[in-house]
Amino acid sequence: MSELTRKVDDSQLPAKIQKKFRKGDLVKVDRETYSNSLESKASDTNLPEYIFQGPGEVLLIKGDYCQVRWRRPVPDVWIKTDHIVSY
Protein backbone atom coordinates (compact mmCIF):
# COMPACT_ATOMS: atom_id res chain seq x y z
CA MET A 1 0.00 0.00 0.00
CA SER A 2 2.82 2.40 0.79
CA GLU A 3 4.16 1.98 -2.75
CA LEU A 4 0.88 3.18 -4.25
CA THR A 5 0.70 6.32 -2.12
CA ARG A 6 4.31 7.30 -2.71
CA LYS A 7 4.70 10.37 -4.89
CA VAL A 8 6.55 10.06 -8.16
CA ASP A 9 9.78 12.00 -8.26
CA ASP A 10 10.19 14.35 -11.27
CA SER A 11 13.54 12.78 -12.10
CA GLN A 12 11.77 9.46 -12.78
CA LEU A 13 9.41 10.94 -15.37
CA PRO A 14 10.46 10.89 -19.03
CA ALA A 15 11.60 14.25 -20.34
CA LYS A 16 9.00 16.19 -22.29
CA ILE A 17 9.90 16.74 -25.90
CA GLN A 18 9.64 20.39 -26.86
CA LYS A 19 8.50 20.73 -30.43
CA LYS A 20 10.19 23.37 -32.48
CA PHE A 21 7.27 23.87 -34.86
CA ARG A 22 3.53 23.30 -34.89
CA LYS A 23 1.11 22.56 -37.68
CA GLY A 24 0.33 25.76 -39.59
CA ASP A 25 3.60 27.56 -38.76
CA LEU A 26 5.21 29.56 -41.57
CA VAL A 27 8.82 28.55 -42.21
CA LYS A 28 11.71 28.86 -44.63
CA VAL A 29 14.88 26.82 -45.15
CA ASP A 30 18.04 28.16 -43.50
CA ARG A 31 20.57 28.20 -46.32
CA GLU A 32 23.68 27.89 -44.15
CA THR A 33 22.39 25.02 -42.01
CA TYR A 34 21.11 23.11 -45.02
CA SER A 35 24.31 23.66 -47.05
CA ASN A 36 26.45 22.08 -44.33
CA SER A 37 24.20 19.05 -43.84
CA LEU A 38 24.45 15.47 -45.04
CA GLU A 39 21.09 15.83 -46.82
CA SER A 40 22.43 18.59 -49.05
CA LYS A 41 25.29 16.35 -50.20
CA ALA A 42 22.76 13.70 -51.29
CA SER A 43 20.45 16.16 -53.06
CA ASP A 44 20.49 18.30 -56.14
CA THR A 45 22.86 21.25 -55.81
CA ASN A 46 20.56 23.66 -57.70
CA LEU A 47 17.73 24.22 -55.25
CA PRO A 48 14.92 26.66 -56.04
CA GLU A 49 15.31 30.06 -54.42
CA TYR A 50 11.75 30.14 -53.04
CA ILE A 51 12.53 27.59 -50.32
CA PHE A 52 15.08 30.00 -48.83
CA GLN A 53 12.82 33.04 -49.19
CA GLY A 54 9.69 31.38 -47.77
CA PRO A 55 7.08 31.22 -46.54
CA GLY A 56 6.16 27.58 -46.50
CA GLU A 57 3.46 26.13 -44.27
CA VAL A 58 4.08 23.16 -41.97
CA LEU A 59 1.47 20.49 -42.75
CA LEU A 60 2.66 17.49 -40.72
CA ILE A 61 5.37 16.71 -38.20
CA LYS A 62 6.80 13.20 -37.83
CA GLY A 63 9.84 12.78 -35.66
CA ASP A 64 12.59 15.12 -36.84
CA TYR A 65 10.90 15.99 -40.15
CA CYS A 66 8.23 18.48 -41.21
CA GLN A 67 6.12 18.30 -44.34
CA VAL A 68 6.14 21.77 -45.87
CA ARG A 69 3.79 23.16 -48.51
CA TRP A 70 5.06 26.12 -50.52
CA ARG A 71 2.78 28.80 -51.94
CA ARG A 72 3.53 27.64 -55.45
CA PRO A 73 2.28 24.86 -57.69
CA VAL A 74 4.97 22.40 -56.53
CA PRO A 75 4.80 19.16 -54.50
CA ASP A 76 5.01 19.20 -50.70
CA VAL A 77 8.47 18.46 -49.28
CA TRP A 78 9.72 16.68 -46.16
CA ILE A 79 12.51 18.71 -44.53
CA LYS A 80 14.44 18.05 -41.34
CA THR A 81 13.39 20.43 -38.57
CA ASP A 82 17.03 21.42 -37.99
CA HIS A 83 17.12 22.96 -41.48
CA ILE A 84 14.10 25.22 -41.22
CA VAL A 85 13.48 28.43 -39.28
CA SER A 86 10.38 30.47 -38.55
CA TYR A 87 9.44 32.92 -41.27
Mean pLDDT of the chain: 86
Q: Does domain 20-86 have CATH number 3.30.230?
A: no
For residue 26, report the phi and psi dihedrals to the nearest 5 degrees.
Answer: -95, 130
What's the pLDDT tens digit per position in 1-28?
555 555 656 566 666 556 689 999 999 9
Domain boundaries, the chain: 20-86
> What average pLDDT does this structure show over 41-68?
93
Buried b or exposed e, range 6-31, using 16+ CB within 10 angstroms:
eeeeeeeeeeeeeebbeeebebbbee
Q: Output the pLDDT for position 4.
A: 56
> What average pLDDT does this structure show over 20-44?
92
Q: What percent of the chain has pLDDT over 70?
A: 78
